[in-house]
Structure 1
Amino acid sequence: MSAISLKNLDVSYGHNKVVTGVNIDVAEGESFALVGESGSGKSTVLKAIAGLAPEWTGEISLLGQSRSHMVERSSAKQCQMVFQDPYGSLHPRKSVDTVLMEPLMVHGIGNRNARVMEMLAAVGLDKRFRFRFPHQLSGGQRQRVAIARALILEPKVMLLDEPTSALDVSVQAEILNLLKKLRREQDLTYLMVTHNLPVVSFMCDRMAVMNKGRIVEIASASALHDGGFIDPYSLSLYAASGGNPDKKDTE
């Protein structure tokens, strides 16, 4: 069974269609990337899956269940999103404890104190951080809290929208290693948006290359090592990242 299945997905903002004819199947436990330049529609696909871009047509399925255009409680428990900017995704006047407690309260989940402490530990934060506010945290610590918030409902699918691009370079590797560890320990499925091809190579099994709202190629992450792309746009991205698009022909 696919963890995420998109069939003929079109997404619009008003009269402006920004995603056209997207077809993707992400297997359970897989880490899959959407790559492409800014404005190619990558984040819009994630927002449609999460219920944050309701003007879509086609079919979106999560773990075998078709989702509607509304924000659904059942979908929220199955699928959570980590946003790009940890400075903007956390409420400045809410403590870490409040941020983590709210999803549990909304969904009527008990044993909340223990669950909050468990999630803080899972993302590498000790109990000292529980009652701090976002302005008292570094960027990396904020993103760890955002990851903990996404995980606290025990979803099986995680949508990751450029989860490290707003962080200092020295912190990016820590967060990527954390995400890789959590995927392994909690048997998670990732759909990650990124423009950083080395991140794809480190984190993902496969990728879909998007250009102007359409998928132009689906390839294994191994193509980042051997240059095994077919589409000219994919090859140009690969070359821009420092790869040799003629490598497969010269070996």
Structure 2
Amino acid sequence: MTALSLKDLSISYGDTRITHGVNIDIAEGESFALVGESGSGKSTVLKAIAGLAPQWAGSISAFGKPRSHGIDGHFARACQMVFQDPYGSLHPRKTVDATLTEPLAIHGVGDRNARVETAMTSVGLDRKFRFRFPHQLSGGQRQRVAIARALVLQPKILLLDEPTSALDVSVQAEILNLLKRLRREQNLTFLMVTHNLPVVSFLCDRVAVMRHGRIVEIADVAALKKGELQDPYSRELIELSADHAD
């Protein structure tokens, strides 16, 4: 079954067109990556899906149900986003408990105490952190809170915007392993934006390469690992990634 479908998605900010006719179908349980240089439009795609870039044309649907342009509570229950910066995405004056309880209150979900504890356990956070503030947590712990916040509504789709890029290298592997485990245990579908091709190779099944707001190639990650992407720009990205690794 198709979990997330984008058809002819064109996104604008004012008079400026950011993406042009993006078409993606992501299967249930699949992990799909969007890659490309800064400004290619990949993060804008996530924002449109999440309702943070409301000026778009085309269609966005989750499990066959279309997303409206405004606030869409039903869609939000199915699809949640984890942001790049765990320092900026958590309110500094809200405890972990308040951060995790807020989405449940907004959507009128009961059994909040149990749901908060389950979400914390699923991301490997001890209950002693429940009433701490963000400044009392490490970067990795903050990102675990951000992931728990996304999971507390029990969505089936996670949008991941560079989920490890703001973390120390030693912590990045922990979060990637956590995401891989969560996907397996909860049958989650991922759409991840990243510039890090080794992360794509580790976590994803397929990859779409974006340039100037357009998708130039969609390929299996096996082709990425073998260096067999077809588009010249895709091959250029692989070469740049290899240079940085050196």
Normalising TM by the smaller chain, what interval? over 0.9
> What is the CA distance between 1:124 and its match in structure 2?
0.5
The letter of the residue matching 1:148 is A
Structure-2 separation of matches of 1:21 and 1:109: 36
Determine if contact 1:36/1:209 at 8 Å carries over to the other structure: yes
Alpha-carbon separation, structure 1, partners of 2:126 and 2:180: 20
> Structure 1: where are the runs of 5+ without partners?
244-251
Cα separation, 2, equivalents of 1:225 and 1:166: 24
Contact 1:52 1:71 survives alignment (8 Å) = no
- 1:112, distance to aligned residue in structure 2 (A): 1.0
> Aligned partner of 1:168: which letter?
D
1:85 alignment partner in structure 2: 85
The residue that corresponds to 1:27 in the other structure is 27
The equivalent residue for 1:130 is 130
1:18 corresponds in structure 2 to 18
Identity %: 72
| Cα shift readout 1:166-193 (whole Å, capped 9, x = no counterpart) | 0000100000000000000000000000
SS across alignment from 2:242: coil
> Are the counterparts in 2 of residues 223 and 229 from structure 1 also a CA contact under 8 Å?
yes
Match of 1:7 in 2: 7
Letter in 1 for 2:101: M
Query: Runs of 5+ in structure 2 lacking a partner?
Result: none
Q: Which digits, 9 at most, give the CA deviation of each residue in 1:231-251, with x for residues without a partner?
A: 0000000111118xxxxxxxx
User: Structure 1, residues 78-108: CA drift from partner, whole Å, max 9, x if none?
Assistant: 0000000000000000000000011111111
SS in 2 for 1:192: strand
The correspondence of residues 183-198 of structure 1 with structure 2, limited to 5 A, is 183-198=183-198
Per-residue CA deviations over 1:105-155 (Å, capped at 9, x if unaligned) read: 111111111111111111011111000000000110000000000000000
Aligned residue for 1:107?
107
CA distance in 1, matches of 2:28, 2:242: 31
Alignment partners' CA distance in 2, 1:102 and 1:242: 42
1:209 corresponds to: 209
Q: Which residue of 1 aligns with 2:227?
A: 227
State whether residues 5 and 26 of structure 1, in contact with CA within 8 Å, keep that contact through their aligned partners in structure 2. Answer: yes
Checking the alignment, whether the CA contact within 8 Å between 1:50 and 1:71 is kept in structure 2 is no
What does residue range 148-167 of structure 1 map to in structure 2 within 5 Å? 148-167=148-167
Q: Secondary structure at the match of 2:118?
A: helix
CA distance in 2, matches of 1:67, 1:109: 21
In 2, Cα distance between equivalents of 1:242 and 1:132: 40
- Length-normalised TM-score, structure 1: 0.95
Give the aligned partner of residue 66 of structure 2.
Answer: 66
CA RMSD after TM alignment: 0.8
Q: 1:224 offset after TM fit, Å?
A: 2.1
Please give the alpha-carbon distance, in whole angstroms, between the structure 2 residues aligned to 1:40 and 1:11. Answer: 12
